[in-house]
A and B are shown apart, each in its own frame.
Chain A
């Protein structure tokens, strides 16, 4: 019964994601495509965060730093390439196949450093240290006067892919959706793998795992880096979507938003956070038309979900356990 419902919801969600451009055309509201695109990008970040938050119980309150870094990597390369100023002797490039992997490597390196230092702690200390690192990244971005400082950086155009025209909104949207599906499938594989078994065991009983021979640190660090790469990918896509990056991408409130989306969708469910992103972004859109203080409504909703929906949207739909 629940597995049928589960399949139906997954199929429905997938159908909506795939049909969004068509719906936008039929209803004549171009905003719908943009909304769906933002949902797809945020969903990639949310799935990534769920990997460590839901399956590893690592409450990173600094994931926006990877979102910001991914975005700024794209923005900075585009800035130099556009202005014809080489950086470190490199002429720059506008090719997604060069710029995007570069951005993701930068995120992985940052995650390796932050993870190595912060995973020595746990619980509240871990939350505070990840927050502190994200704040450092935020202020570094603010202080980059040549890249716009506070005001951020405008991108002239999107990165380019061979055979695929990313400047067309519909095409770009489908690339985002494809990456979302691919990334979620990868994360699901990781969670159910031999690696994932140990990662999940560390969440449930660290003491048990250690006494079975597990050294927690390398497992958690690896998961942390994978999660950062996914969040960085979301940042890369956001920079291309909005053709604008600003320090706000790395603000602590953005980290909070990511956590809220994961909790809203359902911790440790992977698919839940996608639904969480859809509900969160859509509500934000609708409520902010009505009032700029849209958090006044969103806040109580999140509180209720945290209090009563033990596993968020996914928990309500699919029962207790998923994955």
Chain B
């Protein structure tokens, strides 16, 4: 039911004919992709397929050579990254990007504070803003870090930092979540916990999930796109991807899923 209505809506993110080359290497080759409201769309592909290059173009850190990126119907292809973020693009990084000297809750507060780009208010202390604190605590509890609010990010375990990144991304109430390999470096138990966490976020947010962990992808995704040598060779449901001979040859069969 929810799926049916979401299919009729215009996509939150539409990528159209995107291309990026570094010299002779075409990292993004005519990529066309869309993410619908409430959908969890997974992007898989072997190492070097151009997944990270694609993500950095969606966020605006890298400018494409050709093609368009539409966010919520608006052409953002030339928009600078901080302005895209303000439109409601929340992301996590393949290599965790947090403020190591800030506590967990300060990291989440920062995300709340910067929804509109940050304030030049030099008087009030955001740590004294009861509403923001309450909402930050809620986010931390949501990702399972409720007890570690006052721990400095630097002192958190790797898996906890991954969870904190998600809390930071959620705190902006994003319209689209870009999750760049949230399972990377996690043990089996942590991976399972992260999968449960993402499952809880499904439907509430449109999510683009870049992930190597096939078990997680097959458990979570509504649709899967397969990227090989910069090209999207297939987009379809989990069942379709699993049975597609081209995908099996290029990816699933050819290389052990890691």
Nearest B residue to A219 by beta-carbon distance?
A: B118
- Residues 74-110 of chain B, each 1 if its beta carbon lies under 8 Å from chain A, else 0: 0000001111011000010100011111100010011
Interface residues in A, total, Cβ within 8 A: 26
From known contacts A190-B122, A194-B119, infer whether A214 and B101 are also in contact, taking CB-CB under 8 Å: no
A197 within 8 A of B: yes
What is the CA–CA distance of A201 and B122 in the complex, to the nearest angstrom? 15
Contact yes or no, A198 B113, CB < 8 A: yes
B127's partner among A192, A200, A218, A321 (CB-CB below 8 A) is A192
- Does B172 count as interface, using CB distance less than 8 angstroms? yes
Q: State how many residues of chain B have any CB contact under 8 Å with chain A.
A: 38
Chain A min CB distance to B258 (Å): 26
Which of A196, A211, A213, A218 is close to B97, meaning CB atoms less than 8 Å apart?
Answer: A211
B59 touches A211 (CB 8 A): yes
A321: nearest residue on chain B (CB-CB)?
B101
- What mask results when residues 17 to 57 of chain B are scored 1 for a CB within 8 Å of chain A, else 0? 00000000000000000000000000000000000000000
Q: A210 near B: Cβ within 8 Å?
A: yes
For residue A213, which residues in chain B have a CB less than 8 angstroms away from its CB? 82-83, 85-86, 114-118, 172
Query: CB of A222 within 8 A of chain B?
Result: yes
Q: Does B157 contact A (CB under 8 A)?
A: no
Assess whether A214 is in contact with B124, with CB atoms less than 8 Å apart. Answer: no
Q: Is B123 an interface residue (CB 8 A)?
A: yes
Per-residue contact bits, chain B 114-148, to A (CB 8 Å; 1 contact, 0 not): 11111111111111000000000000000000000
B152 interface hit (Cβ, 8 Å):
yes
Cβ–Cβ < 8 Å partners of B120 in chain A: 194-195, 218-219, 222
Query: How far apart are the CA atoms of A198 and B126 in the complex, in Å?
Result: 11
Q: How far is the CA of A190 from the CA of B123 in the complex (A)?
A: 7
Best-buried of B83, B98, B123, B127 by chain A (most CB within 10 Å): B123
**How many angstroms from the CA of A189 to the CA of B128 in the assembled complex?**
13
Q: Is the CB of A212 within 8 A of B114?
A: yes
Q: How far is the CA of A201 from the CA of B109 in the complex (A)?
A: 11
Please measure, in the bound complex, the distance between the C-alpha atom of A201 and the C-alpha atom of B116, giving whole angstroms. 15
Q: How far is the CA of A193 from the CA of B124 in the complex (A)?
A: 5
Chain B's nearest CB lies how many Å from the CB of A306? 19
Q: Cα distance A213–B59 when bound, in Å?
A: 11
Is the Cβ of A210 less than 8 Å from the Cβ of B82? yes
Q: Determine which residue in A192, A197, A215, A218 has the highest number of CB atoms from chain B within 10 A of its CB, and name it.
A: A197
The reply to whether the CB of B163 lies closer than 8 angstroms to some CB of chain A is: no
Given contacts A200-B102, A209-B114, contact A194 B152 (CB under 8 A): no
A194 contacts B100, C-beta separation under 8 Å: no
Output the least CB separation between B104 and chain A (Å).
14
Chain A residues in the interface with B (C-beta under 8 A): 189-190, 192-198, 200-201, 204-205, 207-215, 218-219, 222, 321
Residues of chain B at the chain A interface (Cβ within 8 Å): 59, 61, 80-83, 85-86, 91, 93, 97-102, 106, 109-111, 113-127, 152, 168, 172
The 5 closest A-B pairs by CB, nearest first: A204-B99, A198-B118, A213-B85, A208-B97, A194-B119
